A and B are shown apart, each in its own frame.
Chain A
């Protein structure tokens, strides 16, 4: 009996278990999924908690519920991967051999990477990338009377790169509804030169910030946080004062990857951008946030990768050449506040562009423009996530590879759509 181990039962790991159990013969292949706990959070839901739309229990279910029959699920802390011996080593020292391994251990926030950040942690400094952080922030926002709220991105890459923008948009909306907007200044601080990494979307999202009276501070790299004086201090000497700091701390891969000596400087696994195989080990693959790929760290990306990864794992098992099928496809709804959302769809080579999705002209969803239908799309997505995406069922009309049909490059500027 041969064994495939999947490390991590989040979005990527769960989809892979579902897809591969269907395609690997049970008599020949055992599939084992390992995670440190049995709580699967719908991570796009974190954004909604600070504003009281959801609470923690609205977005959590047992991981085991989404794994198919015939897959073994182990809850344990993995100490490291030992790729030379093809085995996973648990914290109690016991080991578990594999023939093939899929790394799906995700990314996490590491506030300790920024000096001073933990000094004000959950006092005047909050995150919304963890269930506890988002819940604590909900309480803080409820009682926040006035002053400056700074929404801060510490370092890229981060999971769901649009989430901090959505937070700023939601914050504006919420403050307007509670008649507090005039008493509160909103500031958006980013290490990027604009609201987003790619020019067309950066302009669209940047003007939306402006419209909502959110002041932008760009190219800002925090050297440290002075929690006592409540200010961010940049490497270039600039300072940004806050009363409440909502930060996205540095994101890194699992510490287990570092203990295994397999990560880059962010603990992400060096991965082939098209085949999704480890750059170093022939029988190790990776999916989702755990990879070092230059695309978004987002559930949609893991979903698009899953189909191609399943094919490549089967090919590797059969000794066939891999299919370089992944194009970096990412797709996300960006909440814009006021009951509207923006939809963006892009890949390694084509930045988010305006147009219609999934069909040209008829859409029904407009790209890169706030609309109500996109907001409903985002809310409906929670159902799609639990019932279709995790099970590895295809989502109608949204293929793994990005389509150009329906997208339009803006006239001005010679071809900024191509970003290499």
Chain B
């Protein structure tokens, strides 16, 4: 299993760089992963999304879909794309220290 060093934190990641052990996640790790994903700074709006994802995961054991984020009133899909350009579901999950969202089969 590959390991990555972010500042003082060592974390286990999978082949695509998603954390495999959520307990290793810290805000510092999040900021470092975000930088690699092209997000220079995590703003309060980013944190609102990350915190919602954590809450959802704790309650349902699932990474929430974009539709869920939109429907819950946390953030509109358009804003989500502005905050996490490219693939918001994947990027936000990676920064939040969660597994890759299951694209349903």
Report A's interface with B, CB cutoff 8 A: 155-157, 161, 192-193, 196-198, 219, 221, 223, 235-236, 264-266, 294-296, 330, 346, 420
Contacts A161-B105, A346-B105 known; A235 to B67 CB distance under 8 Å?
A: no
What's the Cα separation between A266 and B66 when bound, in Å?
11
What's the Cα separation between A69 and B105 when bound, in Å?
36
B contact residues, total (Cβ < 8 Å): 16
A266–B77 touching, CB < 8 Å: no
B105–A198 touching, CB < 8 Å: yes
Q: Which of B86, B99, B104 lies in contact with A236, CB distance below 8 A?
A: B86
A296–B78 touching, CB < 8 Å: no
A156–B104 touching, CB < 8 Å: yes
B85–A192 touching, CB < 8 Å: no
Report B's interface with A, CB cutoff 8 A: 65-68, 71, 77-78, 81, 85-87, 99, 102-105
| Shortest Cβ distance from B64 into A: residue | A265
Contacts A161-B105, A295-B105, A346-B105 known; A219 to B87 CB distance under 8 Å?
A: yes
| Shortest Cβ distance from B103 into A: residue | A197
What's the Cα separation between A196 and B103 when bound, in Å?
9
What's the Cα separation between A157 and B104 when bound, in Å?
5
Residues of A within 8 A of B103 (CB): 156, 192-193, 197
Residues of A within 8 A of B81 (CB): 221, 235-236
Q: Which of A193, A196, A265 lies in contact with B67, CB distance below 8 A?
A: A265
7 closest residue pairs by CB, A with B:
A157-B104, A235-B81, A197-B103, A265-B68, A265-B67, A265-B71, A197-B105
Residues of B within 8 A of A223 (CB): 77-78
Knowing that A197-B102, A236-B81, A265-B67 are A-B contacts, what are 5 other residue pairs whose CB atoms are under 8 Å apart, sorted by A's residue number? A156-B104, A197-B103, A235-B78, A266-B65, A330-B105
- In the complex, what's the smallest C-beta–C-beta distance from A247 to chain B, in angstroms? 17
What's the Cα separation between A149 and B27 when bound, in Å?
46
CB<8 Å pairs between A and B, sample of 30:
A155-B67, A156-B104, A157-B104, A161-B104, A161-B105, A192-B103, A193-B87, A193-B103, A196-B105, A197-B102, A197-B103, A197-B104, A197-B105, A219-B86, A219-B87, A221-B66, A223-B78, A235-B77, A235-B81, A236-B81, A236-B85, A264-B68, A265-B67, A265-B68, A265-B71, A266-B65, A294-B105, A296-B105, A330-B105, A420-B99
Residues of B within 8 A of A221 (CB): 66, 77, 81
